[in-house]
Structure formats: structure tokens, C-alpha cells
Amino acid sequence: MAEEHRSEMLDHIGGFESISIEEATSILGEQTRMEILVELGKAWDESRHQQQKLRFSELMEAVGLTDSGQFNYHLDKLVGSFVAKSDDGYWLPNPGMQLYRLIVSGTFTEREIRTDIDVDDCPSCGGTVRATYRADNALVFSCDACTTGYAVIPFSPRGFTNRTDDDALQAAFRSFYSELRLARQGICPACDGPVETKLVDDLNDRLDSLSVGGVISSLRCTVCNNYYYSDLSSVALTTDEVRQFLIDGGLEPPLVREWHDVTVAADESVTVVQTDPLRVEITFAVKGETIDLTFDSDHQVVSSTRSVE
């Protein structure tokens, strides 16, 4: 690695300290400061493939202010918490970039609704599974005829940018399974905190309505309460064993849906084989071959067996 590149990677951000929620709210609760974050986040050096540092005058012009004293006041409020300063300009370290990404994703501000996106045939009644994009930035998949609900997936408004509806739905599922894979491994995709993973077979009325096989996968971050409830098949799709099995059968794991025959049959196969400690078995079948997996209550694969039917 070239020394000049290494030194840039190790740029000292200087003076960054933890701040309270009250301090963060006070710093960010002003329009000019949010515009500064957006302009720094947008700045990109194509030739060097990295963030572009903006000098004071460049940043002030990008934000659209002419009063340097007023601009400096707002910029100083951000430096040391969300903005970094070096000899050659201002830039966003990770806290500022995290905020920038949330802002431009549209999650904070956009409440667009999209309805009646045809997706597939419903295995329950032969109707049409349709996707609806709700105002709370979630995709809901359900049948228009029998009203069977199949999935609810969070998805940022920007996920539809420069994509067809079909491409956007594929992106949503790929993102969801990437998050679910991390959560199953005990890592929260939202805050990196620890995730409590457990299989639940003592279901209340609400959870029972979400389950086909009588077992629900529960994944909850103990820090930020980011959570996932799903049938065991969705979690199984994130394991190396099932992913390789489906690939060998000509299927692409992130694009296997909850309403596809292979997933529906897997959910119907779920069996509690042991209660103390809890062990649950699930079977996937593709092209005359099966894979049987046994999970423990922490979502770990205890055993896996492939066989020809």
C-alpha cells in the first residue's frame, strides 16, 4: 500500500468525544447544519475513489450561504461530533456518514405509497400475490384474493431509484436475507449490537397466526430492539447448508420467496423433535433431493443430511 494512501486512511479526526442524546439533538436541530452534512456526504473524489474534502469556502458555497460568520458558527457546532476537520478541508467520519445515509435514503422524510405490484401466483388459492409499499417504508406481500399475508420487509424509498419494480423487489429480498443472516449470527444489522436468538414453540395467538409449522424464529437486538419474526424456513435460507443445496438445485437462495413451493413445503415439514433442549427439524426438497436440518433454540444447525428421494 502506498504510504500516502495509508496516511490518508489513518487521518486523525481529532477532538471527537462521546456526546449525550440532548447534545446530539441540539446540534442537529437546525437546517443549515443538516445541509452541511448533506453537502459533505455528496462530495466525492472520482480520481481518488474516496470522499472529497471541502475547504471552508467550497462548503459554504455548496450550502448556499454568503455570511461567513453565520456559516462558521453552524459548522463549528458540527466539528468534533459529526464533521472532521484537517488541514486540507472538512469531511464526514462515520457518525456523519451514518446520518447522511439516513437522510438521503428517504427514510426520515418520504412517505410514498405504491400499490398493486403483481409478484406471483398464490399457492393457497391461485390468486395473485401482490406487493404494497406502505407509508412506513415497508413492503407487504399478500394475496389479493384470499388475503394470505406472506412477508413484511423494511425497504428505504431510495431502493426504487433507477430500478424497475421487479428489480426493486429483488433488491428488497437480497437486503432482507443479508440482514437476517447477520441477525442469526448474533449481530444486529442496524446497530451492530448483540442479538438474542431463539426458536419459540409456545405461541400466543398473534405469533400462531404468523406460523405454518408451529414454530417461530425470534431475533431481537438487546440494544436497539431491531427484531425479526419469521417461519423457520426464512432463517434456514440464510445457512450455508441450505444455500448450497438450493444452488446445486438451480435456485438462487435470495430470490426464493415465502410463497414458492419449496418454501411452503419446508414450512409444512417443521417438526419439534426434542423439547428440552429444544430441537426443531425442517426439510427442503428440490429435484428429487432433500436436505434435513436440525436447529437448536439459538438457531444453530445441529445436524444436516442430504439424500436422494
pLDDT in tens, 166-210: 999 999 999 999 999 999 999 999 999 999 998 887 766 565 555
Give pLDDT, residue 7: 47
Average the pLDDT over 107-113 and give the result. 85
How confident is the model at residue 9, as a pLDDT? 44
Asked whether residue 2 carries a pLDDT value surpassing 90, the answer given is no
CATH numbers and ranges of domains, the chain: 3-105 (1.10.10.10), 110-162 (no CATH), 235-308 (no CATH)
pLDDT-derived band at 4 (thresholds 50, 70, 90) equals: very low
Give the span between the Cα atoms of 20 and 13, in whole angstroms.
19
Q: Where are any strands of DSSP class E within the chain?
A: 44-45, 50-51, 84-86, 89-91, 114-121, 128-133, 138-143, 149-154, 195-200, 216-221, 227-231, 271-275, 278-286, 289-296, 301-308
Confidence check: pLDDT of 229 > 60? yes
| 302 band by pLDDT with thresholds 50, 70 and 90 | very high
Q: What is the pLDDT of residues 130-143, one digit of tens each?
A: 999 999 999 999 99
Lowest mean pLDDT among 46-55, 197-206, 230-239, 287-296: 197-206
User: What does the mean pLDDT of the chain come to?
Assistant: 89
